[in-house]
Structure 1
Amino acid sequence: MVPLPLFKLASLFVRHISKYGANRIKIQAHEHPSLRRIAAKYGQTIHQITMRVSVASMRDVAAEKRAKEKAEAPTVKTAEQVKADEEKAAAKAAAAAKAAATGTKEKVSSYDPSRSIWTRKFRPIPEAKAVDLFADVLGDAFVLLVAGGLITYEYVKSKSKPDQNTVRIEELAELLKDEERRVAELEQVEKKQQLRVDVLEQALELLKSERASGKLKTA
């Protein structure tokens, strides 16, 4: 009778339980107030890290610097370009005057291609999405933790269990040694038997020679 793979069945059951636990974590992240605050906070952190990694993987700093240098390089402008620049300068001055009159500061772009992407702040996502993001990450981490524990347990168990091939080879080696020992013993017995046969043959030859010499004397 083939034994049932109890460990595999148990691991499959534990995996299903871990998925259920992950879903419960996601539900509690939305319903529990304290956990929701923590999930929203760390969800925003995960979002910032994800955005930085995504932008860093697509960013080309050298190309951005070349584009900026090309844009700032002095060129010969036409009359229309000069007029457009004057209009932009006038509009900017009017906006600055209006901002000074109202007591507000004009928003200035602080984009710098040489600035590290890891110090940049991206626009935060809504709280519900942040909670969902953190809950998904936490649930997946729980499932991976359970799966990793099962894999580690199976690895340790397989290491502690002796290798069947090695055990079989050792058994065959022992059988071979026993067979060689038996053959050696049989050879020793055969040598002793051969020695006895030789002694008997010599005795018979001696007896025959004595009888032959006795007959000659009587004759």
Structure 2
Amino acid sequence: MIKTEKLACHECDLLLHIPEHTSACHSLVCPRCQHKISSGHSNALDSVIALSISALIVLGIAISLPFISFSAQGQAHSISLMHTSIELYSQGFTSLAVIALVLIVFFPFLYIFCLLMITLPIKLGLITKAPVTLGKFIGLLTPWLMADVFLIGVLIALIKLIPMADISIGGAFWAYLMFVPLFSYVVSIVDPYRLWNWIDHDSKCAY
């Protein structure tokens, strides 16, 4: 007999019987509103830990190296991710500078850090207090994760700048180009149902 647990759909509040395990080829969908509750994954915990650590490494590289260099009319400029916000601030766009830094670097870093604080103790068999606060914080961060939007904006800007200046792509650009799909895949794995199952597991180990 398949073990199930009860869960209310986040969209229509229909009480559902959710199987304890979902195979990698299946998804859990509410039969009333068709809201996708969770996707099956063969080894979600290990995948999230490995991909999160990899994403942190490439994000660190993206922050430390030049992002884009360009020259026009005899003047050359080199811009890093951090320098982007500094340049906006120096031109008087204080709010835009803070928003850019927070959305493209700080929030993704916080998301990955909080996620590792939840998943690593489970993987290592450590007994910790229930990280409910971390789970709530991840839920608040998720709608504001816009690394992919930033990358798309950069690519569009590059297309417009190519006829006007000599563009040189820095190492940080390629690192961020690697970071975005890694980070996006982690976010796609960590749906609310799976995240709170991990937190519930951590809570049971703590008491």
Task: State the TM-score bracket (shorter-chain normalisation).
Answer: under 0.3
Q: Which has the larger radius of gyration?
A: 1
Which has the higher relative contact order, 1 or 2, with Cα contacts under 8 A spaced 6 or more apart? 1
Tell me which protein shows more strand as a share of its residues.
2
